[in-house]
Amino acid sequence: MSHVDRNYDHLFKVLLCGDSGVGKTCLISQFTDNQIRRSHITTIGIDFKLKTFTVQGKRIRLQIWDTAGQERFETLTAQYYRRAQGILLVYDITQDATFGNVTKWLRNIEENAVDDVKVTLVGNKLDLDQQQGQRQVTTRKGEKLAKQHKCQFFETSAWSNTNITEAFTGLTEQILNSAEQRIGSERSESKLVLTSSIKSSVQQEPHGSSWCCG
């Protein structure tokens, strides 16, 4: 199927992980459907949504996987790490324990994901700090941890739709840049192999041959 037929240039798989209740499903709902989940429904195992949008002039389709945060589902979700080109690791800025568990999630990513996976750290529920002062995890803590692990960092709110598009777009840009660099490298290698093959064929042509016509 051609790019025109499928109406997008790249398909990327993005995984959301983090403790249960940090707002992963709400972030996805706001990004894909512009809707707020007003009641909390715990994700069981794995769910996913699709979103097609334009990044750097390319039509990108994201397959966004929503994982359950409970420990009993970790074995089930481990296989999805290996399929993901990007991961949004989410914690709740009003629950310090969810930030403390980020280290565990980063370890899961390191053990199960591909080597060049792109990771963005997200501190969610920013509206509860802005409106109700419930913050337990400072912005500086989040920025510091993200810097240590060389990943992007955003604070978001599904309720007020703050920085959600920016977080998904920032992650997608990293994946896209990596993919296009890889494609460019593969094309260069193919061109080099083809050039070498042509040169080899030319060198093997017999010289000084003569033709007679009778």
Tokens 């509860």 locate to 128
Token pair for 25: 């499903």
Between 133 and 47, name the one with better pLDDT.
Answer: 133
Task: Give the pLDDT score at 69.
Answer: 60
Token pair for 180: 């296009």
How far apart are the C-alpha atoms of 22 and 118, rounded to whole Å? 20
Looking at residue 93, what DSSP letter applies? T
How far apart are the C-alpha atoms of 106 and 148, rounded to whole Å? 12
How far apart are the C-alpha atoms of 125 and 70, rounded to whole Å? 19
What's the whole-number mean pLDDT along residues 131-150?
Answer: 94
pTM of the model: 0.80
Please choose, from the candidates 36, 12, 16, the residue with its C-alpha nearest in 3D space to the C-alpha of residue 154: 16
How far apart are the C-alpha atoms of 212 and 214, rounded to whole Å? 6
Beta strands in the chain (DSSP E): 10-17, 46-55, 58-67, 86-92, 118-124, 152-155
- Phi/psi region, residue 139 (left: phi>0; alpha: psi -120 to 50; beta: rest), is alpha
Domains defined along the chain, listed by start? 3-179 (3.40.50.300)
How far apart are the C-alpha atoms of 91 and 20, rounded to whole Å? 9
How far apart are the C-alpha atoms of 169 and 173, rounded to whole Å? 6
Interval 53-82: pLDDT, tens: 999 999 999 999 988 665 555 665 678 888
Residue 100, amino acid: G
Handedness of CA 191, 195, 196, 198 (dihedral sign): positive
What's the whole-number mean pLDDT along residues 170-180?
Answer: 95
- Phi/psi region, residue 166 (left: phi>0; alpha: psi -120 to 50; beta: rest), is alpha
Task: Give the pLDDT score at 210.
Answer: 44
Angle at which helices 102-112 and 74-81 cross, to 10°: 60
Task: Give the pLDDT score at 80.
Answer: 85
How far apart are the C-alpha atoms of 133 and 198, rounded to whole Å? 69
